[in-house]
Amino acid sequence: MSKLTCIVCTKGCALLFSDGFDVSGNLCPEGAAYAVQELKYPARTVTSTVKISGALSVRCPVKSLHPIDKSLLFDAIKLLDEVELLAPVEVGDIIVSDICGTGVPFVTTRSMSRV
């Protein structure tokens, strides 16, 4: 048996699971689905910031549009170090179209006007 703390909701259930994907300890169905997903394909949505010039702030918040493989998180963050935007930007603007060959884009999560 292996252990995992569920992060789907605020309860933080202590999940127990076996190799056959039998999950226990979850207080909701989403907890069991999370455990199976985490075992088969651990993935995360990446949130970060990138440089921006011409705006009131010097950083613009961004995120991956979909979760990417957990093993690619540091490579994805490193990729963002090379990105510099020029204001104005709108929420949802694609700033990187393909994160580490996954086909998942990075998008802005805040509109920023030019000053």
Q: Tens of pLDDT along 69-90?
A: 999 999 999 999 999 999 999 9
Q: Does domain 47-108 have CATH number 1.10.10.10?
A: no
How far is 84 from 13, CA to CA, in rounded Å? Answer: 40
Burial class of residue 90 (count of CB atoms within 10 Å of its CB; 0-12, 13-18, 19+): exposed
Read off the pLDDT of residues 2-54 as tens digits, 9 standing for 90 and up: 888 988 888 899 998 877 778 889 888 888 888 888 888 899 999 999 999 99
Which residue(s) pair with 61 in the sheet?
49
The 3-state DSSP class for residue 90 equals: coil
Query: Do the Cβ atoms of 82 and 96 come closer than 8 Å?
Result: no
Cis omega (within 30 of 0) for bond into 88: yes
* Residue extents of the structural domains in the chain: 2-40, 47-108
Which pTM does this prediction carry? Answer: 0.80
> Per-residue pLDDT for 1 more than 80?
no
